[in-house]
Structure formats: structure tokens, C-alpha cells
Amino acid sequence: MRDLRNRPGLLTGRLSTKDSSLTFALYALSLLGALVISGALVAATGGSAPDVLSALLDGSVRSPGAWGLTLTTAAPLLLVAIGTIVATRAGLVNIGQEGQVLIGAAFAAYAAVRLGGPGWVVVTGALLFGAVGGGAWAGIAAGLRAWRNVPEVLTTLLLTFIAFPLVTFGLSQAALIADRDTTRQNQLNTGEIIPGTALLPDVHLFGNAIDSGFLVAIGLSAVLAYLISRTLLGTRVDMLGYNPRAAQRFGVAAGPLSAAVLIGSGATAGVAGAVLLTGGAAGDRLVFGFSGNFGWDGLLVALLARNRILVALPVALIFAMLRTGSSFLAATGVDRKVTEVVQALLVLALLIPPAVLFIRDRRRALRSSNQKTPATAPEAT
Amino acid sequence: MVSVQDRPSPASVAVSVRGLTKRYGDVVACSNVDLDLRRGEIHGVLGENGAGKSTLMKVLIGLVQPDSGTLTVDDARVRIDSPARAGALGIGMVHQHFSLVDELRVWENVVLGERERLDARHARGLVESIGEHYGLGVDPDARVGDLTAGMRQRVEIIKCLRRDPSIVIFDEPTSVLTPQESEQLFGVLRLAVERENKAVALVSHKLDEIRQATDTVTILRRGAVVEDGPTARFDQQSLAQAMIGRAVSLRGDDAAALGATDIVVTEATAASGPVTAPTVLAVENAVFDRYGHRVLDGLDLDVRAGEIVGIAGVEGNGQVELADVLSSLVTLDAGTVIVDGVVVPTGRAGAMGTAGVGMIPEDRHDAGCVLDMSVAENLALASVGVGSWLRRVDRAKNEADALRLIDEYEIRCSGPDAPFHSLSGGNQQRVVLARELSADPKVLVAAQPTRGLDVGAIEFMGEQLRAAAARGVGVLLISSELEEILHLADRILVLHAGRIVGEMNRTDADVERIGLLMGGVTTDTTTTEGEADA
């Protein structure tokens, strides 16, 4: 049992990079496999693979204004991913991002509609409210873990299924976030339209409108990447994730740090929700199901980035391309849901090589520890 | 002791191993090994850690398949491809590490893994009859988790003997026993060969045991047989020389490492006990419960600057928990720890280290290192918990420090950036030692520091501990190897059932008395604690 504590798993372990050619070949092979299966799927549903690819590229980067939309879509994915990465590095399994995003969006909606004042105050307030909402939601899991030792993997997930009806309830109460416009026919279960002054401004570049939420995501990523790689906080987080008993012995208490990291990862998911709402990527008002799988997909981004913050950016961009590109698929006669399958295949393809390498490394380690047994370890049977 | 000459009948060979070779990659664990186990004979297999003893025995029990060589059991060529096959051939093994389930009762453990219908009455009877036959009395209804290590080994032996194997292998059986319990065990082995005409193999790295308990001996070094023959032909000196491959003085470090207790004791010189030196570590009335068991029960001890205090005791009497307390890993239920005159709160992350307690842990992978960090990062672990979380990690300093320590402690690695897990066990241990000693501790705790090391590494560790004490560090040596304690410690404390039951200076050390104390027999009363029939 003790050994498990210091044995990194598939997600957090560093792979040996000695065989870079083997690693490359593995990735090439599994990506090729994913593409072949995707192509076969498209062909089977009556489409043509080149057409589909072309449509995906049109929708995500080639058509006018497309890449601006792609970057805007990447922002919440990246935000969710970086919080997840920090939590995973600390040895925590936060899988409740979808709920944290939704609660964050709901808090942001309240701020955007109810806070008065100049636009930048409202926008900043909305982002902060989002962070507080997401952080508080994850904070429930953090508290249960700290006081009652309840595994956060359960609580974060289950809290997601409480977040949905809770926000729906909020959308039914005028005192909370329900639409107060009585002239509308069906104002139940919808929030108020976010006023234009409360929206994150767009940055216009080469005819593309990029939501400044993307800049928020890039900025937060840079800050977290710095903290993780350069400061004592980062070393403490890694130490806690790799070996909590060594951490305890050398002055890093698991309790407060775990709680802070879990709340922090909820807060970044909450900011993602706020960016989603005030950036306009997911509509102009809070509605049921508003979080639109951004939480789950952000979790996958973190998984594929293998817990390196800087790698999360390109992965988030690819996921965003699949999302924006899928809207152009209708013309090819292929169901747009095919992108979800492609995305899933992509995830599998990118996870198989590290899994193979991990298993190989483990086998090697086992074999070499058998070798070393005579010289270095007690002659255990 | 029955010598080879007085054996009643010419011994028949039960198991014969010829030309056995087993490689792990480039490492040859066994090289062209020949071994004969005869009926009615206790056969010693002697060798250092890593000499190939365990591999050889694992081949016999079917856990390891040899690369080449032949096995003959009762004159028939056999292939032993699984422990079940070994069992069918009448080969049984009593493992060094117990394979018992703590939560189950003794009789349940004994029949665990059997395929026939469960018959509690029969199983209880079995435990009692085997116990009576061999003098291995144990209550069939006792919960194994409540038994002492010595009693658990009895259960393990009964479990092995109930299948009535004709060939029994004991792998380092005395590592969990008091000297008196070891004597008893050897009596049982003698009974098994004389009454039942069994063939018994006793695997050990201790000279005394081999000389005391075996009829014939095979000595392994680096995977090859270097000597074999009747034990009576060897004296301590020749056994040691064959085992290590060089002339040994059988004094000091070597004797301790080889388990030659008598030499260690007679050699002990008057320790110039620094009685006036200040106390650097005091543990007062420490009480700690783990899973409802009181594992530390009013433990008191103190260590002065410049002395080595040895804690002797059978494993499982609170050693692990004492080390955990001094590593800030657990919080005491009662009692205080005072380091250099200051009360240190137990269980507060990093508090012991900051107060000046260095630790060479029993299992360095538990809390002694971070396998996935670099050598430099592992050498700098103590600086991680100190200071603001926003402070930058000073990599240049860590690297410079690491280069210096790698040089000073002769750590073999590709550089400060080498991943810690890429180091061999001996070099990992050096990293731990370098980190703990370079932090300038007031107290150094060494928990089973030489376990699994070869004689050279054991000597290095002994030198380091003595050098630390000479610099004024108070050293607390927790070890279940009595020889190690007798050799290194200025003062000896005996730990039993979570408390110190005896104390003596090395000059008055008396192995007999220490052994009794380890078993819970205190000198002023004849009643025993925990283990009524030890």
C-alpha cells in the first residue's frame, strides 16, 4: 500500500523520453488509425472524407472570421484545462468541471445583470463572481475532503448533478437570475439577456473578432505555468502529488494545500463559465444546459496535455477547431455529431501512445527492480 | 548438535540441483549452482544479501524458472513451474515475510487456500496436533493480527507442515525472532529432521546461525557456490572468508554485518559515555494508537549529543511508529517530543525536520524521497516547505549544492538532473544520507539503515553514523539486527510492546538479557507480556 503513494500513475508519471523515435512512431500510428476510422465512419454515413475535412477547416479557420471564433471557443476550454492540470499535479481528481463551469456562469450572470456601474466594473465583477461561484462549488468538495475525508473524485462529480437543478431553480426565481422581463412569453428557465456593456470586448484582428476572454485564458495560463515551474508553490504541488508522505515530512501539509488547489481549480472553471457567458460564445443569456460540455471537454484537454500547462493551449485549439468546424458540416450531408466521434477517436489516439509507453516503462522498472533485488533490496520473497 | 558423522543412516538425497543458472538481464543471480538437500539433515545456505540465495530457493519452490540446469527430486528429473507443483512434490517453504491474513484466526489461516470442504473442528485439531508434535503451541482461535512476530511465524510453520512436506525451506527465519525464539526454532528444525527424516534448508546470512543449527552448508557468493561441505569443517573465520571473498578481521564492522554476536560483544570497548553532554532528543511518555491498537505505550527515551543510542527489539513493537513520530508523519495521542530543549509539536508538517531531526528512514520510498523528481530536487527537499509559496526556486543553488554532495558522498548518477528513480538502491540511500547529514541535524534517526545492503555498504553506513556522533550529533539507531546495535550503540534500549523495557550501556551488554527483554520478559518479574509461552 505504501508503495502506491510514491508510484506515479499513467496521468502524472513522467515518461522516459529516451526513445523519441519510438514515441513519434507510436503517435503517428495511432493518429493514422484514428483518421482511417474517422474516414470510414464518414464514408459509411454517406459522406466524403475530403469534403468533411475541407468543411471542418472552413468552419474553424478558413472562412472569414472563423479563427476568431475558434480562439473565442478555445478560451473556456483552456481555462478549464489549466485548473484541472494543477489539481491533478497535486494528486487530486477533480472531475466536476461541468458543474463548476455552470455555477460560475450563473454567478457571472447575476453580476452581469444586477451589478450597476461602468462596463469594465461589471465585466470584471462578472469574472470575479464566476471565480467565486466555481471556487465555492469545488469548495464543498474540498471541505468534505478536509473534514470528513470524502474522496473528491466522488463529490466533484456528484456536485455536477446538483449544479444543474440548482441553476434551473435559480432560473425560475426572479429574485435570483430568472428573466424579469414580464413581456416575454416564456421567461421561465431563461436568464436575462446580458447587456452589451457587460460583455467582454472583442479584439479585432485581420477581420476576426477575438473575444478578450481568450486573452484572459492566455494570461491565467501564463501565470499558472510560472507558478508551477518556478515557485515553491509549484514544487509543493508536485511533491504533494508525487509523494504526500514525503511532503508532510518536509513541511508541506496536505490539508490546506489540497483544499486551496481544489478551490483554485474550481475557480478557473468558474471563470471559464463567466467567459462563456460574457464572451458570447454560447449565446447571449443563461439557459438550461448552458455549460454545453465545455467542462467535460476541458477535462479531456487536460488529460491529453498530460498535465503540462503549455501543452494545453494547442490541445484546446484543436478541440475548439472541431467545435467551430462542425457547424459547417451540414453542407456535406454528414451529421455534425460525427465531430464528437472524431474528437473521441482523437482522444483515444493521443492516449494510447503514453499508455503503451507507461506500461513498457513499468515492465522495465519491474524487471530492473528484479535485477537490482540481489544487490540493493532485502532478499524478500 | 548432531554432526554429520553421528547420523544414524546414510542420508538419501531428496533434492538435487545441478548447474542451475538464472540471469536477470546482465545480472547473473545464480551461476552454475549445485546443491543437494539430504533427508535427515539441516542444510545451511549462507551468503550475503544479493548472493543468490533467494533466487535459488525461489527456483525450488517454483516461483522462478531457471535459464538452465536440472532439478531432481527423489531421483526423478522434474520441472517445477509453480508453487502448486512444488507442493505436490513435497517441497514447502516458510517465507521470510509472512503470508498471513491478520483479520483471520489461526486455524483459518492454516487452511486458507485449501480446496476441500472447510471443517473448523478438524482444522483446530490439526493446529493443536502439529503444535504439540513440534512444540509449536499456539491458540487456534487467536486472531493472527494480535499475535507477536514469533507466534505468527509458528502459524506460518504450521501452515507449511500441515501438508507434511518432505522438504522444508526456511528463508531467513530468525529476522523476526528474539535470540531465545531462534533457539526454539532450531529445536523444531532438529525435530523435523530427526523424527520425520525430512530434508531442511536454512537460508541465512548469519554465521552464528549456520554454525549452530546446520549439518552441512553451501556458501554462495555473487551467484556461485564457493564452498560446501559439513558445517563442522568450517570455523567462523573460514565461513566469513568464503562468504565475503576476502580475509575478514571478524572485528567490528565485519563481525556485526555477519551476525557474529559473540565477537561483537567481547570486543566492545568501554564507551566513553558523554554523560555530561546535553540531551538533544527526549521523548516523554509517548502514547499512540493505530487502528485501535496501542502501538506506543508510554515510551520514554533520551539521546545526548555525541552518543549513539540503539533501540533493540523485535520488529513490530513500535519501531515504525516511533520513526513516524520523529518524521512528523503522525500525531501522538499523548506525550511530548523535545528536541534540543524545545517542545516540538508532533504531526505538524515539517516540524521535526526544522527542529533539527534528521531521518534515515527504514523505507526510503515511503517518505524519504520523491522518485519522480531529480537528484538535485531530492537533495533540496527540506527547503521546499520553508518560506513563502511565491518564492522562486533557486535552481542554480540547488544544482551547485547537488554537485558538491554528489562528489562528497560519491553518489553515482548521471548528474544533478538525473531522475531519482534511475539510481540504484545503494545510491538512492546515499542521496538520503547526504541530504540528512548536510542539513546539520542535532539528532539523526537511523531506522533499519543497513537492511538489504551488502557488507561494504553496511560498513560505509556505520562509519557515517559514528562520524556524525563524533561531530556531536545525537544518533538514535533503530534496528532489529541485534549485532548492529551491539556494535554501534553506546547505550542500548530495548523496545517491547511500544515501551522501553530495559536499558544498558554497551559495556554491560548481555545478549541473553537483551533477548529476554525483547521477548517481553523483564528482569524483575518473571511474568511475560503479550506472549505467554515465548
Question: How many domains, in total, are found in chain B?
Answer: 3
Task: Specify the range with the lowest mean pLDDT, choosing from A26-35, B24-33, B293-302.
Answer: B24-33
- Best B202, B203, B344, B381 member to test A by mutation, with max A CBs in 10 Å, is B381
Query: What residues of chain A, 240 to 299, have a C-beta less than 8 Å from chain B?
Result: 242-243, 245-254
For residue B187 the three cell numbers come to 529445536
B54 and B182 belong to one structural domain: yes
Which band of pLDDT confidence, cut at 50, 70 and 90, is reported for residue B264? low
Place of cell 481568450: A214
* 3-class SS string, chain A: CHHHHCCCCCCCCCCCCCCHHHHHHHHHHHHHHHHHHHHHHHHHCCCCHHHHHHHHHHHHHHCCCHHHHHHHHHHHHHHHHHHHHHHHHCCCCCCCHHHHHHHHHHHHHHHHHHCCCCHHHHHHHHHHHHHHHHHHHHHHHHHHHHHHCCCHHHHHHHHHHHHHHHHHHHCCCCCCCECCCCCCCCCCCEECCCCHHHCCCEEEECCEEEECHHHHHHHHHHHHHHHHHHEHHHHHHHHHHHCHHHHHHCCCCHHHHHHHHHHHHHHHHHHHHHHHHHHCECECCCECCCCCCHHHHHHHHHHHCCCCHHHHHHHHHHHHHHHHHHHHHHHHCCCCCHHHHHHHHHHHHHHHHHHHHHHHHHHHHHHHHHHHHHHHCCCCC
The pLDDT score that the predictor gives to residue B269 is 47
For residue A75, which amino acid is it? Answer: A
State the complex-level ipTM. Answer: 0.82
DSSP 3-state of B302: strand
Residue of B nearest to A226 (CA): B392
The pLDDT score that the predictor gives to residue B323 is 95
B448 and B499 belong to one structural domain: yes
CATH number (domain holding residue A76): 1.10.3470
Residue A134 lies in a domain: yes
Is the pLDDT confidence value at B450 over 70? yes
The whole-angstrom distance between residue A377's C-alpha and the CA centroid of its chain comes to 42
CATH number (domain holding residue B455): 3.40.50.300
DSSP B109: H
- B52 contacts A374? CB cut-off 8 A: yes
- Residue numbers in A near B452 (CB within 8 A): 376-379
- Decide: B14 and B167 in contact? Cβ < 8 Å: yes
Which band of pLDDT confidence, cut at 50, 70 and 90, is reported for residue B9? very low
Q: How far is A222 from chain B (nearest CA, A)?
A: 15
Instruction: List the B224-230 sheet strands across, edge first.
Output: B91-94, B167-171, B199-204, B41-46, B216-221, B224-230
A81 vs B5, more confident: A81
For residue B225, list its beta bridge partners: B220
The pLDDT score that the predictor gives to residue A131 is 97
Task: Specify the range with the lowest mean pLDDT, choosing from A177-186, B87-96, B188-197, B296-305.
Answer: A177-186
DSSP 3-state of B449: coil
- A242 contacts B373? CB cut-off 8 A: yes
Place of cell 503444535: B131
B9 and B135 belong to one structural domain: no
- A248 contacts B367? CB cut-off 8 A: yes
- Residue numbers in B near A239 (CB within 8 A): 370, 373, 381, 384
Q: Work out the percent of chain B whose per-residue pLDDT is above 70.
A: 90
The pLDDT score that the predictor gives to residue A126 is 93
Compute CA distances B399 → A227, B169, B301, B377, B390, whole Å: 20, 49, 38, 8, 20
Residue B269 burial (10 A CB sphere; 0-12, 13-18, 19+):
exposed
For residue B529 the three cell numbers come to 507480556
B14 and B143 belong to one structural domain: no
- Residue numbers in A near B453 (CB within 8 A): 376
Distance CA B187, CA B133 (A): 12
The residues, any chain, with a CB within 8 Å of residue B151's CB and separated by 6 or more, are B138, B142, B531, B534
Integer-rounded Cα radius of gyration of chain B: 24
Mean pLDDT on B501-506: 90
For residue A205, which amino acid is it? Answer: L
For residue A173 the three cell numbers come to 426565481
The pLDDT score that the predictor gives to residue B253 is 60
Nearest to B494 by CA among B466, B475, B513: B513
Is the pLDDT confidence value at B511 over 90? no
Q: How far is B455 from chain A (nearest CA, A)?
A: 11
The pLDDT score that the predictor gives to residue B263 is 56
A101 vs B53, more confident: A101
Residue B350 burial (10 A CB sphere; 0-12, 13-18, 19+):
buried
Q: Which residues of chain A have pLDDT under 70?
A: 1-19, 182, 184-188, 280-281, 365-381
B167 vs A203, more confident: B167
Query: What residues of chain A, 351 to 380, have a C-beta less than 8 Å from chain B?
Result: 365, 367-368, 370-380
DSSP string, B470-515: HTT-EEEEE-S-HHHHHHH-SEEEEEETTEEEEEEEGGG--HHHHH
The pLDDT score that the predictor gives to residue A186 is 65
The pLDDT score that the predictor gives to residue B330 is 93
Distance CA B431, CA B484 (A): 22
Task: State the DSSP H helix or E strand holding residue B41, giving kind and residue range, or none if neither.
Answer: strand B41-46
Distance CA B157, CA B130 (A): 10
Residue A61 lies in a domain: no
Residue A80 lies in a domain: yes
Distance CA B151, CA B531 (A): 8
What is the pTM for the complete model shown?
0.79
Distance CA B245, CA B443 (A): 36
B123 and B227 belong to one structural domain: no
Is the pLDDT confidence value at B149 over 80? no
B345 and B228 belong to one structural domain: no
CB of A40 within 8 Å of any CB in chain B? no
Residue B361 lies in a domain: no
Nearest to B202 by CA among B314, B82, B41: B41
Which band of pLDDT confidence, cut at 50, 70 and 90, is reported for residue B525? very low
Residue B429 lies in a domain: no
Task: Specify the range with the lowest mean pLDDT, choosing from A314-323, B31-40, B266-275.
Answer: B266-275
- Residue numbers in A near B373 (CB within 8 A): 238-239, 242
Residue A18 lies in a domain: no
The pLDDT score that the predictor gives to residue B2 is 44
Nearest to B167 by CA among B4, B12, B7, B51: B12
The pLDDT score that the predictor gives to residue B23 is 86
Is the pLDDT confidence value at B265 over 80? no
B205 and B309 belong to one structural domain: no
In whole numbers, what is the pLDDT of chain B averaged over residues?
Answer: 85
The pLDDT score that the predictor gives to residue B528 is 41
Is the pLDDT confidence value at B529 over 60? no
B184 vs B534, more confident: B184
Residue among A8, A235, A379 whose CB faces B393 most closely: A235
Residue B528 burial (10 A CB sphere; 0-12, 13-18, 19+):
middle
Residue A324 lies in a domain: no
For residue B526 the three cell numbers come to 518473571
Is the pLDDT confidence value at B346 over 60? yes
Domain boundary among B218, B234, B250: B234
Residue B13 lies in a domain: yes
Q: What does DSSP say about strands B308-312 and B279-290: parallel, antiparallel, or unpaired?
A: unpaired
| Angle, CA of A228, A233 and A234, to the nearest 5° | 25
The pLDDT score that the predictor gives to residue A249 is 94
B83 and B122 belong to one structural domain: no
Residue B370 lies in a domain: no
The residues, any chain, with a CB within 8 Å of residue B29's CB and separated by 6 or more, are A374, B22, B23, B52, B55, B223
The pLDDT score that the predictor gives to residue A111 is 92
Distance CA A105, CA B483 (A): 68
- B327 contacts A2? CB cut-off 8 A: no
B193 and B296 belong to one structural domain: no
**B488: containing domain:** 279-356+441-518
Nearest to B45 by CA among B191, B184, B171: B171
For residue A271 the three cell numbers come to 471563470
- B454 contacts A251? CB cut-off 8 A: no
DSSP 3-state of B337: strand
Size of interface A-B (CB pairs under 8 A): 167
Task: State the DSSP H helix or E strand holding residue B241, giving kind and residue range, or none if neither.
Answer: helix B236-244
Which band of pLDDT confidence, cut at 50, 70 and 90, is reported for residue B270? very low
- Decide: B207 and B260 in contact? Cβ < 8 Å: yes
DSSP 3-state of B185: helix
Residue B261 lies in a domain: no
**A188: containing domain:** 67-311
Residue of A nearest to B98 (CA): A381
B172 and B137 belong to one structural domain: no
Residue A138 lies in a domain: yes
Taking phi over 0 as left and psi of -120 to 50 as alpha, with beta for the rest, A315 belongs to alpha
B473 and B352 belong to one structural domain: yes
Is the pLDDT confidence value at B382 over 70? yes
pLDDT tens for B54-80 read 889 989 998 889 999 999 998 889 999
Q: How far is A181 from chain B (nearest CA, A)?
A: 47
Distance CA B384, CA A252 (A): 8
Helices (H), strands (E): how many in chain B? 19, 20
- Decide: B145 and B480 in contact? Cβ < 8 Å: no
Nearest to B489 by CA among B259, B286, B315, B265: B265
| Angle, CA of B453, B456 and B461, to the nearest 5° | 70
Residue A306 lies in a domain: yes
- Best B54, B61, B421 member to test A by mutation, with max A CBs in 10 Å, is B421
- Residue numbers in B near A7 (CB within 8 A): 371
Is the pLDDT confidence value at B276 over 70? yes
Question: How many domains, in total, are found in chain A?
Answer: 1
Compute CA distances B471 → B254, B280, B361, B437, B485, whole Å: 23, 13, 21, 11, 20
For residue B109 the three cell numbers come to 489461516
Which band of pLDDT confidence, cut at 50, 70 and 90, is reported for residue B467? very high
B160 and B177 belong to one structural domain: no
Distance CA B172, CA A161 (A): 56
pLDDT tens for B105-131 read 999 998 887 777 888 898 999 899 888
Place of cell 460574457: A278
Which band of pLDDT confidence, cut at 50, 70 and 90, is reported for residue B357? very high
For residue B106 the three cell numbers come to 489461526
Backbone angles phi, psi at B80, to 5 degrees: -105, 100
